[in-house]
Structure 1
Amino acid sequence: MKPLSVTVVICAYTSERWGMLLDVIESVRNQTLTPDQVLVVIDHNQDLHEKLIEIVDDVTIVESTGLPGLSGARNTGVGLAESDIVAFLDDDAEAAPDWLERLVALYDDPDVLAVGGKVVPLWETGRPGYFGEELDWIVGCSHRGLPRVASEVRNVIGANMSFRLEVLRQVGGFNQALGRKGTLPLGCEETEICIRSTMGSPGARIVYEPAALVRHHVPAERGSVRYMLSRSWSEGISKAQVSHIVGQKRALGPERRYVRSTLPRAVFSGIRDWSRGANPQGLGRAGSVLAVLAFTSAGYLRGRRIAHGSTTQLAELELQGAPWRQVQ
């Protein structure tokens, strides 16, 4: 059987991550499974594009031809890929040496449409005491409650994911109305495309393989209460957009289980640690969970109201006036 060919797509948009971007590219060079193609897509930043071309000559560097934003950049990579599998890395997510090998191994099953891996946070100034692992999705990482062994899931995590190329092209790529636009903390484009990929395909599976590891840099400001609440609000708005597209049942199944199971345990654990003196930050952890749940729910309800309009523009307006802006 002919080995599957693989393209790695790295999307970048800012020169502020220059050093990290070079580290990500180096981590792809050092893979135990050598990719057939490496594409670095620059999201509407000509200076970064020109600078990278001068320094790096062993990967293909292109400018995004899509709308500004992560989804447009990823679609540019999909359009240029010439392989069976396309794997995606963020410009601040460094891959472990066997990352690609472990992702591709799951595609021996023809029913597997996409495989994602574990994303571990690398905190720039250390994890804040009030920031429990249950909330690591806020910083684009795997959170407590996800499977510990390879398992079927609804969707993969954007910083560490792969798809069959034919699947991406069949569904028309990533929805450019969703996903992060520069520093605007929207998301859920990977959730939506995973749902669309499996709709109408009985037996098709999305798999999470925690052994396929990347380490994701988390700057200090993303550990702040302000960012925590802003990301929660925007996640609610993004989930409302996805619900409008694919329906509530498909869009919110895992979230309901997370709210019923993972979050109550996190609250009780935090209060218990605080009351026993085992961890003085326990009460803060519990409070953060409740605040995140409240802001995400509020964002979702607000997003439901605006879902029939121009989703991206309305979401930006909502973020400008969101209640977390008042948090100091």
Structure 2
Amino acid sequence: MSSSRPLVSIIIVDYKRNNPYLKESLKAIDQQTYTHFEIILVTDYPVNLTHPKLKKKSYGHYVGPAQKRDAGAKLARGSILSFLDDDAYPSPGWLQAIVDNFADPKVAAVGGPGVTPPDSSWDKQASGWASASPLGSGSYTYRFLPGKKRLVDDYPSMNLSVRKSDFNKVKGFDSHYYPGEDTKLCLDLTHKLGKVIVYEPKALVYHHRRSLLIPHLKQNGNYGLHRGFFARVLPKTSLRPLYFLPSLMALGLIFLLFSPLYTHPLLALVTQIGHTLLGFYIAALCLNALWILNRSRQPLQAFLSLPVIFLTHFWYGLRFLQGFLFTRKLSR
């Protein structure tokens, strides 16, 4: 990379009508310490927004998010493509932290945390803590709260920047894998090109969450569906024991619901083991609630985490099994 400042193309894909978050995002982009950028907005509906660095393109519903991101990349003049969700806005040092990492030619992409905005409503904060807590996301809490800088092999496109030359080499996002085209892109960057993806905690954005309870469960169920599908078709990054745990929990609960009907000694023993494991899980939920209380200083969020995380695990687990066992193709 040359010593001159690289141009960054910030690409936002928006499918909402009258999205209230776009102005917030543009305002935050204007406050960046790194100023050599352009903004590309690809939408379902025409958007009445103006900005000196903004390019707009409207497609309509017949084109999915992956195709819209690829279209934004084709319009981009920058050597770095920074993909940002339409309900997220960056912190002031976001772009500078991203650009610094691309000084290393081995780096193909940089991802950063998506933190729940501090002024979010109580229910959206509860949705955020369900993901940001240890029991909510296991070893992936760094995606929702700043963690240690590290190399990763999979990262969501809500806050993902990619070197344009590498993006073009792998032919961009694969729309056949939506939702989850970002997982396929990361797999191609790391395994086909042999490059690395950096998690940079300083590349922080604020990412609005879904409301409780149906929107939250619907979103997480979709995550489970596509991860289950990928565990079968893209095992290099998705066939991991951690992803199967919610499914084992869901199946175990269903088994225990019918435990009064079991008379066989072996099934009775399995039921006893199941009750013991359930006790450990409930204890883990309580410890996780204490962790949330310590981090948030909000007793309500600690209390809400008990049912929210339980239901999230159960629904994610069922949808994961659907994706792993029955889904032959993900719809666009």
Aligned residue in 2 for 1:174: 173
SS at match of 1:168: helix
RMSD over aligned CA atoms reads 3.5
Summarize the alignment of residues 8-87 of structure 1 with structure 2, pairs less than 5 Å apart: 8-17=10-19, 19-43=20-44, 45=45, 48-49=46-47, 51-52=48-49, 55-64=50-59, 67-87=62-82
Structure 1 residues 167 and 67, CA, compared in 2 at 3 Å: closer, same or farther? farther
Work out the CA distance in 2 between the residues paired with 1:201 and 1:12.
30
Distance 1:129 1:34, change over 3 A: closer
Contact 1:89 1:159 in 2 (8 A): yes
Equivalent residue number for residue 321 of structure 1 = none
In structure 1, what is the Cα distance between the partners aligned to 2:65 and 2:314?
Answer: 27
Q: Could you tell me how far apart the structure 2 residues matched to 1:97 and 1:253 are?
A: 35
Residue 43 of structure 2 contacts residue 60 of structure 2 at CA under 8 Å; is this kept in 1? Answer: no
The change in CA–CA distance for 1:268 and 1:8 in structure 2 (over 3 A counts) is: same
Give the drift of 1:265: 8.4
Task: Quote the offset at 1:31 in angstroms.
Answer: 1.7
SS of the equivalent of 1:152 reads: strand
1:45-194 residue pairs with structure 2 within 5 A?
Answer: 45=45, 48-49=46-47, 51-52=48-49, 55-64=50-59, 67-122=62-117, 124-127=120-123, 131=127, 133-136=129-132, 144=141, 146=143, 148-179=147-178, 187-194=179-186
Q: How does 1:187-226 map onto structure 2 within 5 Å?
A: 187-202=179-194, 204-218=195-209, 222-226=210-214
Residue ranges of structure 2 left out of the alignment (5+ in a row): 249-280, 293-297
Query: 1:254-265 residue pairs with structure 2 within 5 A?
Result: 255-256=242-243
Paired letter, 1:269: L
Q: How far has the Cα of 1:131 moved from its partner? A: 4.4
Q: Is the radius of gyration larger for structure 1 or structure 2? A: 2
Shift of 1:270: 4.3
Question: How far off is 1:175 after superposition?
Answer: 2.2
Whether 2:216 is the aligned partner of 1:228: answer yes
Q: CA deviation at 1:75?
A: 0.8
Question: Is the contact between residue 231 and residue 240 of structure 2 (CA under 8 Å) also seen in structure 1?
Answer: no
Query: Does the C-alpha gap of structure 1 residues 254 and 95 become closer, same or farther in structure 2, counting only changes over 3 Å?
Result: farther
Q: Distance in 1 between matches of 2:169 and 2:14?
A: 25
Residue 108 to residue 57, structure 1, CA distance change in 2 (3 Å):
closer
Shift of residue 224, structure 1, vs aligned partner: 0.8
**Distance in 2 separating the partners of 1:31 and 1:168:** 24
The runs of 5 or more residues in structure 1 that have no matched partner are 180-186, 314-328
Displacement of 1:230? 1.8
Aligned position for 2:272: none
Q: Distance in 1 between matches of 2:306 and 2:23?
A: 38
CA distance in 2, matches of 1:116, 1:271: 28
Percent sequence identity over matched residues? 24
Task: Give the TM-score normalised by structure 2.
Answer: 0.73
CA contact (8 A) 1:129 1:285 kept: no
- 1:89-113 alpha-carbon deviations (Å, 9 max, x no partner): 2222111121101011111121111
Structure 1 residues 226 and 13: alpha-carbon distance in aligned structure 2, compared to 1, 3 A threshold: closer
Structure 2 counterpart of 1:184: none
- Separation in 2 of the partners of 1:304 and 1:258? 13
Match of 2:311 among 288, 291, 297: 291
1:26, CA displacement in angstroms? 2.5
**3-state SS in 2 of match to 1:14:** coil
Whether contact under 8 Å (1:134, 1:144) holds in the other structure is no
Change (3 A) 1:62 1:292: same
- 1:169-204 CA distances to partner (integer Å, 9 max, x unpaired)? 12221122344xxxxxxx4222221112111344x2
SS for the counterpart of 1:285 is helix
Whole-Å Cα distance in 2 between the matches of residues 206 and 148 of structure 1? 15
CA distance in 2, matches of 1:65, 1:230: 23
Structure 1 residues 280 and 24, CA, compared in 2 at 3 Å: closer, same or farther?
closer
- The answer to whether the 8 Å contact 2:244/2:317 transfers is no
Taking a change above 3 Å as real, the CA distance of residues 292 and 305 of structure 1, as seen in their structure-2 partners, is: same
More moved, 121-130 vs 85-94 = 121-130
